[in-house]
Structure 1
Amino acid sequence: MCACSGAAAAAPLLGANALRTLTLGALGVSGVAVSSSASAAPAAARTTLTADQALQRLMEANKAFVADKTPTPQLDRKRRLEIAQNQTPFAVLLSCSDSRVPPEVLFGQGLGDLFTVRVAGNTVSPEGLGSIEYAVAELGVPLIVVLGHERCGAVGAAVSIVRDGVSFPGAIGEMVGPILPAAIRARDEDGDWLDNAVRRNVVDVVERLKVSGKLLEDPLAAGKLKIVGGRYDLDDGHVDFFHR
């Protein structure tokens, strides 16, 4: 019998919180704090930064990156051991898989600083949404950044579908599908179609996250969470936080 089945069978005896911890443990997820019962372990440490402070930290770090003055991020053995038992990221980065857009580098961050979810076109799937919700609900992350970038290949593919009727093999077409509404709406805007679609796609994802369900909606309403969008310029390295 698999661990998950065993956990389900034990539900009447364990209770919801213990079952949840057991199930997550079977899946290899550690450092999950459960605090709704008197016998539960104390909650794990969380970042002390507010959403605005977290955003300011990213903005200042990106300025340093652009100026080639990025401080050395914490990547050594000391830092590795500091976070081995618990993680306290201060921001979620939903960004593109593009090899030129690694969030930790653009923002000069080290081990354990950012909770990253990466997929071509920085769209959000159920798996991606669950990852983001976990970061907010379980790790206490106060800031979500949806990061698009200049000359995004996935957004360019969506534009080519709308403009030229191009089709893509395998799962690539399905991957591009969620970006099509942004490509369509950007078609009649002034300026570069592709770059307008990149920005429009970021806005669409931010707005979708804001109405995705209680795990994000409640901390948003309470002022404990902020969701913003940005665009990374491949040429000059600057991140423009244009939707916040």
Structure 2
Amino acid sequence: MDRHRAQPGTIPSSPEQAWAMLAAGNARFMAGSPAHPHQDVQIRHRIAAKQRPFALFFGCADSRVAAELIFDQGLGDLFVVRTAGHVTDPSVLGSIEFGVGPLGIPLIVVLGHDSCGAINAALAAHQSGTIPGGFLRDIVERVTPSIISVARRGALEPEEVEREHVRMTAQLLTERSTLIGERVSSGKLAIVGAEYVLTDGEARVVTVVGDAGVEPSV
């Protein structure tokens, strides 16, 4: 038996176990046969005093990209932070550090997706030279480094910008947060960057920082 795979009914304690459980949940979701775990009265009572999530999701705020549904998990399983285009700021980093530090979560998943409005807005601004006003400007500015990175390699395709933004976000977490960087270096934490495909429900691995027992598939 795979020593990295958590036993049924146990909470994953390693990055490998956490990703294996998430991958199994995504497979159920894609197949249209979700188990809807941890959504009953008993689990509500059991976790009321203390939470023990096994994975932290930093994803886009898009209404079609709900991590608990995509990965068929329930109450107390996931610690979720979401912003448009999964852009970071100090409060986002603080929230993620809370999950990694006090909660001891072994896996971070950066979850992007196709047809991302934030990516499209940043691409439109890049192509037109017109930056939107208000706080939308902040989102566009934080996505722009990913656009520049892709532009250096050739044509600007939205799908490749989305994937590059996932890669750069995962790397940024280790660079900006000493806590995250140290946990990854020690093997206690890994980061999986994934791209969610809206039409078929699949979460495809784009990048991995550390060891989560999985390799990129796109």
Q: Give the TM-score taking structure 2 as reference length.
A: 0.87
Q: Aligned pair count?
A: 199
CA RMSD of aligned residues (A): 1.6
CA-CA distance at 1:75 after TM superposition:
1.7
CA-CA distance at 1:192 after TM superposition:
6.3
Write out per-residue CA displacement over residues 78-117 of structure 1, whole angstroms, 9 at most, x where no aligned residue: 1111110100000110000000000000000100100000
Matches within 5 A, 1:8-19: none
Q: Please name the residue that 1:21 is paired with.
A: none
Secondary structure of 1:144's counterpart equals strand
- Gapped runs of 5+ residues in structure 2? 1-9, 209-218
Secondary structure of 1:187's counterpart equals helix
Task: Tell me which structure has the larger Cα radius of gyration.
Answer: 1
Contact 1:50 1:142 in 2 (8 A): yes
1:181–1:89 distance in 2 versus 1, CA, 3 Å: same
The answer as to 2:41 corresponding to 1:73 is no
Q: In structure 1, which of residues 211, 220, 238 is the aligned counterpart of residue 184 of structure 2? A: 220
Q: Please name the residue that 2:50 is paired with.
A: 86
Q: Please name the residue that 1:163 is paired with.
A: 127
Matches within 5 A, 1:161-240: 161-187=125-151, 189=153, 193-240=157-204
The whole-number CA distance in structure 2 between the counterparts of 1:111 and 1:89 is: 9
The answer as to 2:103 corresponding to 1:139 is yes
User: RCO (CA 8 Å, sep 6+): is it higher in 1 or 2?
Assistant: 2
Contact 1:187 1:193 in 2 (8 A): no
Q: Please name the residue that 1:104 is paired with.
A: 68
The whole-number CA distance in structure 2 between the counterparts of 1:164 and 1:214 is: 37
The whole-number CA distance in structure 2 between the counterparts of 1:167 and 1:176 is: 8
Q: Give the TM-score taking structure 1 as reference length.
A: 0.78
1:191–1:64 distance in 2 versus 1, CA, 3 Å: farther
The whole-number CA distance in structure 1 between the counterparts of 2:125 and 2:115 is: 16
Amino acid at match of 1:81: H
The whole-number CA distance in structure 2 between the counterparts of 1:127 and 1:203 is: 20
The whole-number CA distance in structure 1 between the counterparts of 2:170 and 2:12 is: 24
The whole-number CA distance in structure 2 between the counterparts of 1:191 and 1:88 is: 44
Amino acid at match of 2:81: V
* More displaced 10-residue stretch of structure 1: 131-140 or 189-198: 189-198
The whole-number CA distance in structure 1 between the counterparts of 2:19 and 2:185 is: 18
- Gapped runs of 5+ residues in structure 1? 1-45
